[in-house]
Amino acid sequence: MESIWPVAALWLGLALIATLLSIWLRVATALSEIVVGTVAQLVIGALIGRSLLQTDASWIQFLSGTGAIVLTFLAGAELDPAVFRLRWREASGVGLIGFLIPFLGCFAAAKFLLGWSTPASWLAGVALSTTSVAVVYAVMLEFGLNKTDYGKTLLAACFVNDLGTVLALGFIFSPFTWRTAAFFCVGLVAFVILPWLTPRFFRWYGGRPSELEAKYLLLVLFALGALATWAGSEAVLPAYLVGMVLAGTVGKDHALIRRLRTLTFGLLTPFYFIRAGSFVSVDVLLTAPLAFVILLGAKVSTKFVGVYPAARFYGSGTRESLYTTLLMSTGLTFGSISALFGLTHGVIDQAEYSYLVATVIGSAVVPTLVANAFFLPRHLIQREGKHVSQQAAEAPAGD
């Protein structure tokens, strides 16, 4: 038990370094945490040993997984039902095309350029067709775009994209069983009941120092996550759906959302992002960098072929379309989950797994850095800031 605290101090020290770097370099904290995780496992592994980070320790896996679940829930809670009803065609169209073309294109790249087996190539197509809701939401929050209609539509498109990834992984590699049917039935009932039950439960028993609201939400997320993993799916999938169905209630409770963000970004997501970065095998990349370049190029280029024209079709300007395309070129959660699924089920070998994970994590860093450096739609942020200032000015003095 005593060994936990030095390791915890090490991880939080790395998180603090990553936060300082994000401030100094003006990049999203999630990206700096991924890079710090990669460098840390390389440096610490060379000087002391990789076991010092204990990335496979059960408590670190729990904190990391909880971070992914709560972060995905918060992303779903940011979805404005009114905006989604108004722009669902755009979110669905961009999300579906953002999945389909990279799925087929990355399959072709792995099959015909790298010579992988057909099952391994299909898995590469699944893993590299993803969009990281966690990274996109963290970036949206960092720059305030989560409050804009543009940001909410982009998050919805990311969810549609990842839903296609999850369904493809299930239909290609996991047979539909009675457990899957049970998960869908229970999940459907929960998504119908929660919007009715949650506001009433909070009104009766909430607003106390015991933080009943947070415990209630974590219970729901953990229970549905356990059901999803039992059915052969992933715990983060119902988390986004729960966030969506509660966006009209929990999403409007700004004080509760702020407290959840403090818990998530202060403690949980550093473990998630730093751990993700630590999985990059630098040795494998240095011995055969061409495979990494081909896979990353295939992922980003196919996203451009699909997402950019779709965004333009739905009326986005050039800068917004490029920013959307680059952010939807990111990958992390579902991509690494798909790669790990392929490794544990014998679909891919260790080297192919390393290439896929490195590509997934590289896609979380490179497109986002380019997007924020050159294509950040600052006019939307400024417009939102003016709108908030105007609302504050027009509010009665006693408010």
Do the Cβ atoms of 294 and 112 come closer than 8 Å?
no
Its CATH class, for the domain covering 4-49+58-386, is: mainly alpha
- Supply the pLDDT for residue 389: 42
d(CA 172, CA 117): 15
pLDDT digits 0-9 by tens, 193-214: 999 999 999 989 888 888 899 9
Do the Cβ atoms of 360 and 331 come closer than 8 Å?
yes
What six digits make up the tokens of 287? 């011995």
- Supply the pLDDT for residue 87: 83
Task: Indicate the pTM of the whole model.
Answer: 0.76
Q: Which segments in the chain show pLDDT lower than 70? A: 1-2, 46, 49-50, 174-175, 344, 382-399
d(CA 244, CA 240): 6
Residue in 131, 124, 186 with CA at minimum distance from that of residue 154: 131
- Supply the pLDDT for residue 172: 84
pLDDT digits 0-9 by tens, 372-393: 888 888 887 766 555 544 443 4
Domain-by-domain residue ranges, the chain? Answer: 4-49+58-386
- Supply the pLDDT for residue 175: 65
Q: Counting beta carbons within 10 angstroms of the beta carbon of residue 49, is it exposed (0 to 12), middle (13 to 18) or buried (19 or more)?
A: exposed
